[in-house]
Chain A
């Protein structure tokens, strides 16, 4: 087993380079988000999605052609998990009254399944269908953005109270960094962004924060304990001390995420992909970004000298 405990890597020696790389990644992500935009799923837009399962592998082109020739000009067909599962996406039919759209959407599944059965030799099972009205889609997008901002705000306050203001800036910059780059990757590779991905994004906040807090905790402890050494040296020592834990936890989490990705089925794949990207970037940012920001803000021993009463009597909680 590799021993990653007794290291003395000069993490902060490359802080300028790391900072530059991160800045470039963030800028690229923002450009991609502006130009490419996110590939929003049904949850955030609106329309009807029909899920179908074929008894043998299916060629998307033929499905598309069959639909286009039968009046579904705007239908989009995508693979869903395996090459035998497809999803047919249909926009909301504006000519139908809002109150009747759901009823229409309910029937369209059977209609499309019947139509495709006539055009294909393989057996087709209708696995299910979804309908989202335009109004709900817009609301969900709003709610998601709001949720993210509220979560970031609460975290900032909590860390400022528990640690110190400079740490809370460091943590929030690291979180924003993780979120922007994850979203950037989603837009760059046109990966569908749906409700599950949104939940994953919020989970990334929790995960990345976990990492940052553990490092910050150690930095605080070392500042209080060690009498000599520059802030940069102390941050380096703290990062080395927590490196083992950072890598092992990221590793076990990735183990879990990859088993969801490969076994958990198509419904959870988007979730797993988002989290895998987030965990990798979150691990990097808790080492290079959060501590970097703290150093940039000239953290001093005095910032952390008010000892918080805790520990001894708390550890007996059953």
Chain B
């Protein structure tokens, strides 16, 4: 029988519809304003919660839904005002090492969360916050590596008693060594090539000198850039955590840039001052038992208190590379390479202190806001910077350490973490903010409300028009249109955890306008076939059939354009491209398969005299 879908096809469509509904519904549940309290070094417990709740009760701030989960405390509030007042009350009650972050807590029922149905996250332009694009100074990173190489080469040649007539840094990737004779040069070349396997060597003769050119290999340059970017990203993630921002984004963009997005943050100046500072690293010996208490400071490390001697035996800037690796038994370790001077320093200290412990401190600049009353009795906020020192490694010196040494006895995870922390304190290069955008919270709310209203009005107008023009068929197209919007929201909320931005909403609105195009193509075809004298059932079948190629061609080319937009564009252009691509795919499904199923249900498998598809010219009577 013509125009009937097999049962499996109808069931499949029904399943997609149910899926779309299920995964788009969570967006209707508004989030609760919440505060999350955590601590970088230990899990927060019920005992802390008791302290926090009594502080809130003292300040007469209402809260609900408090819970302790995964070592952090979550409290919910009635509105933003309570949330902000609570934040300062809690910060006052707790010590500085607690992180008090503003957050939004979902209110979707538990079973929805269990099947992974959540809300889509909103972009900064829809919820307010600060956006930074930071550029990492790669030239500085390369230059540092070459300067290390230069000083290492100098000390190696001195040890080998090879005389050089001068060494120069030509540029960030090129070093020039001058020798009096070709013999000296070849001796130097063979000894240096052993040490610097990541360098390219080349002989050159000029001005009566034998010159050896040492260049960074392209692969090594890429590796240095990757390491530096990773180190900077780690540093930024640490800082952002300390800012107490919920759901921050710290993402690599291109080869030398990092995007930082901080929802809810309203003071960009403070954020900048924290983000732009570079962390430093210090190596110390553990204080000997019985040492005078003025000669050490006490730090917490993995649950125990350790006394660290005040003398710095090595600064982080002497580290030339660090990476997690495996020893010959396959056990995780962290390998640290120092430059020549650093090698000498650590060797001198460690050979007299075998058996003692060596500690590594990571020093970060953090800020805190103090509120006090000035002489007029008004509240004044003041931002104060302080150094936050953290013990990140505690290991026993087994032997006099050479330039390259390893820290062992770690789990794989610990080795990775330690390596990242060390590199964040030693390899990070200076960063410049090249783009910045501050979106006030009222602006974000306004954008969101207007965007959603735009979608609603646009959809309503199109729906009215389609029904007026195509009647029953228009109705089918309208059901498909609504389905299409639900599917886009469902995909954005669950499949692709993409962020919805304002250009993204525009992309959805545009899809609404263009999605009906497929139906217009099909319906005009059906009308044409009816005018040509086909029976209604045949006209439906032939209309869908013949419009399909055109729809495919048209959508494929638009998809290609969206793909180009996505791969070349950044930020807003990308957001637009993503929703456009999703919209093209879902609209192909709803406009072709979805409407066909509906039309089949209405007209399929029975005798039909006339289709309700608006007016079309009657077929010319032909004698048979």
Assess whether B502 is in contact with A3, with CB atoms less than 8 Å apart: no
Could you say which residues of chain A place their CB within 8 Å of the CB of B430?
99
With a cutoff of 8 Å between Cβ atoms, the chain A residues found around residue B432 in the complex are 98-99, 102, 133
Return chain A residues, CB-CB under 8 Å to B521. Answer: 214, 245
Q: Which residues of A contact B514 (CB under 8 A)?
A: 207, 210, 249, 253
Mind listing 21 A-B residue pairs with CB under 8 Å? A106-B268, A106-B272, A106-B438, A129-B438, A130-B436, A151-B564, A155-B557, A155-B560, A158-B560, A198-B573, A199-B572, A199-B573, A202-B573, A210-B558, A213-B553, A251-B465, A252-B466, A252-B517, A265-B446, A265-B454, A318-B589
A241 and B555 alpha carbons, distance in the complex (Å):
20
Most buried by B among A5, A98, A140, A218: A5
Question: How many residues of chain A get a CB closer than 8 Å to chain B's CBs?
Answer: 80
**Which B residues fall within an 8 A CB radius of A?**
9, 12-13, 125, 128, 132-133, 135, 268-269, 272-273, 276, 430, 432-440, 442-443, 446-447, 450-451, 453-454, 457-458, 461-462, 465-466, 468-469, 502-503, 505-506, 509-510, 512-514, 516-517, 520-521, 524, 527-528, 531, 544-546, 548-550, 552-558, 560-562, 564-565, 568-573, 576, 580, 589, 593, 614-617
- Majority SS of interface residues in chain A? helix
CA–CA, A218 to B549, complex, Å?
Answer: 10
Q: In whole angstroms, how far apart are the Cα atoms of A122 and B462 in the complex?
A: 41
**Docked complex Cα distance between A98 and B435 (Å):** 11
Contact A318 B12, beta carbon cutoff 8 Å: yes
CB under 8 Å from chain B, chain A span 242-257: 244-245, 248-249, 251-257
CB–CB B457/A196 < 8 A: no
Measured in the bound complex, the distance between the Cα atoms of B137 and A99 in whole Å is: 11
Task: Knowing A143-B568, A155-B560, A205-B561, say if A162 contacts B553 (CB, 8 Å).
Answer: yes
Question: 5 closest A-B pairs (Cβ-Cβ)?
Answer: A102-B433, A265-B450, A256-B513, A106-B268, A253-B513
Q: Which of A17-25, A289-297, A308-316 contacts B (4 or more CB under 8 A)?
A: A308-316
- Do B450 and A263 touch across chains, with their CB atoms under 8 A apart? yes
As a 0/1 sequence over residues 118 to 147 of chain A, the CB contacts with chain B under 8 angstroms (1 = contact) are 000000011111111101100010010011
Residues of A within 8 Å of B457, CB to CB, are 259, 263
Contact (Cβ within 8 A) A125 B440: yes
Output the nearest chain B residue to A107 by Cβ-Cβ distance. B269
Q: Which residue of B465, B552, B557 has the most chain A CB atoms within 10 A of its CB atom? A: B557
Which residues between 74 and 123 of chain A lie within 8 Å of chain B, taking CB atoms?
A: 98-99, 101-103, 105-107, 109
How many A-B residue pairs lie within 8 Å, measured between CB atoms? 249
Kindly provide the distance from the CB of A267 to the nearest chain B CB, expressed in whole angstroms: 6
What is the chain A residue whose CB lies nearest that of B568?
Answer: A147
A264, CB-defined interface residue at 8 Å: yes
How far in angstroms is the closest Cβ of chain B from A47?
A: 11
Closest chain-B Cβ to A85's Cβ sits at a distance in Å of 10
B435 contacts A257, CB within 8 Å?
no
Asked if A265 and B510 sit within 8 Å, CB to CB, the answer is no
Does A271 lie at the interface of the complex (its beta carbon under 8 Å from any beta carbon of B)? yes
A58 interface contact, C-beta 8 A: no
Whether the pair B549, A131 counts as a contact (CB closer than 8 A) is no
Assess A1 versus B615: contact at CB under 8 Å? Given A150-B564, A252-B513, A256-B510. yes
| A191 sits at the interface (CB 8 A) | no
Instruction: Please tell me if the beta carbons of A311 and B549 are within 8 angstroms of each other in the complex.
Output: yes
CA distance A159 to B269 in the complex (A): 51
Choose one: A103, A146, A151, A209; the contact of B272 (CB below 8 Å). A103
Contact indicator A271/B451 (Cβ below 8 Å): no
Q: Which of A109, A135, A260 contacts B506 (CB 8 A)?
A: A260
Contacts of A158 in B (CB 8 A): 556-557, 560
By the criterion CB–CB under 8 Å, are B516 and A202 in contact?
Answer: no
Residues of A within 8 A of B132 (CB): 102
Contacts of B546 in A (CB 8 A): 311
Closest chain B residue, CB of each to CB of A261? B454
Most buried by B among A101, A162, A195, A259: A259
Interface pair B565/A147, CB less than 8 Å apart: yes
Max chain A Cβ within 10 angstroms of own Cβ: one of B276, B447, B561: B561
Q: CB of A37 within 8 A of chain B?
A: no
A104 to chain B, nearest CB (A): 9
A164 at the interface (CB under 8 A from B): no
**Contacts known (A253-B513, A259-B457); A213 close to B468, Cβ less than 8 A:** no
A260 near B509 with CB under 8 A, answer yes
User: Bound state CA distance, A251 and B469, in angstroms?
Assistant: 12
Q: Are A147 and B469 in contact, with the CB atoms below 8 A?
A: no
Q: Are B570 and A315 in contact (CB under 8 A)?
A: no
Q: Is the CB of B435 within 8 A of A136?
A: yes
Residues of the B chain whose Cβ atoms lie less than 8 Å from the Cβ of A275: 510
Known pairs A107-B269, A135-B135 / 8 extra A-B pairs, C-beta < 8 Å: A102-B434, A218-B550, A252-B462, A252-B520, A256-B512, A311-B548, A314-B552, A315-B548
Known: A213-B550, A217-B553. A241 touches B528 (CB 8 A): yes
Q: Nearest Cβ in chain A — how far from B85, in angstroms?
A: 21
CB nearest to A103 among chain B residues:
B272
Knowing A1-B614, A318-B9, the reply to whether A245 touches B545 (Cβ < 8 A) is no
Q: Does A268 sit at the interface, judged by CB under 8 A?
A: yes
Contact between B617 and A109 (Cβ–Cβ < 8 Å)? no
Contacts known (A199-B576, A256-B510, A259-B457); A206 close to B561, Cβ less than 8 A: yes
Q: Is A35 interfacial (CB-CB < 8 Å)?
A: no
Give Cα A310–Cα B548 distance, bound, in whole angstroms.
10
A246 to B396 CA separation, bound complex (whole angstroms): 78
By the criterion CB–CB under 8 Å, are A214 and B550 in contact?
yes
Q: Given A136-B434, A210-B554, A259–B572 Cβ distance below 8 Å?
A: no
C-alpha spacing A203/B508, complex, angstroms: 12
Cα–Cα, bound, A199→B506 (Å): 10
Query: Which residue in B560, B572, B614 is a CB contact (below 8 Å) of A196?
Result: B572
> Is the CB–CB distance between A202 and B450 below 8 Å?
no
Beta-carbon nearest neighbor of B16 in chain A: A318
- Report the bound CA distance from A275 to B511 in whole Å: 13
**Identity of the chain A residue whose Cβ is nearest the Cβ of B454 in the assembled complex:** A264
- Shortest CB-to-CB span from A294 to chain B, Å, is 16
B545 contact set on A, CB distance < 8 A: 311-312, 315
Inter-subunit contact A318/B593 (CB<8 Å):
yes
Shortest beta-carbon distance, A53 to chain B, in Å? 8
B556 nearest CB neighbor, chain A only: A158
Q: Which of A128, A150, A198, A268 has its CB near the most chain B CB atoms (within 10 A)?
A: A128
A177, CB-defined interface residue at 8 Å = no
List chain A residues, Cβ under 8 A from B12: 318
Please indicate the chain A residues that have their CB under 8 angstroms from the CB of B569 in the complex: 143, 147, 199, 202
**Closest Cβ–Cβ distance, residue B550 to chain A (whole Å):** 4
Annotate A209-221 by CB proximity to B: 1 below 8 A, 0 otherwise: 1100110011000
B554 close to A244 (CB less than 8 A):
no
Known contacts A150-B564, A260-B454, A314-B548; decide if A106 and B269 are in contact (CB<8 Å): yes
A305: CB under 8 A from chain B?
no
A125 and B442: CB pair below 8 A? yes
- Select B458's contact among A131, A136, A159, A256, beta carbons within 8 Å: A256
Is A61 an interface residue, CB under 8 A from the partner? no
Contact B616 A5 (CB under 8 A): yes
Q: Tell me if A217 and B550 are in contact (CB < 8 A).
A: yes
Q: Would you list which residues of chain A between 228 and 248 have a CB under 8 Å from chain B?
A: 241, 244-245, 248
Residues of B close to A302: CB separation below 8 A? none
In the complex with contacts A245-B524, A257-B513, A199-B565 CB distance below 8 A = yes
Question: Is A154 part of the contact surface with B, judged by Cβ < 8 Å?
Answer: yes
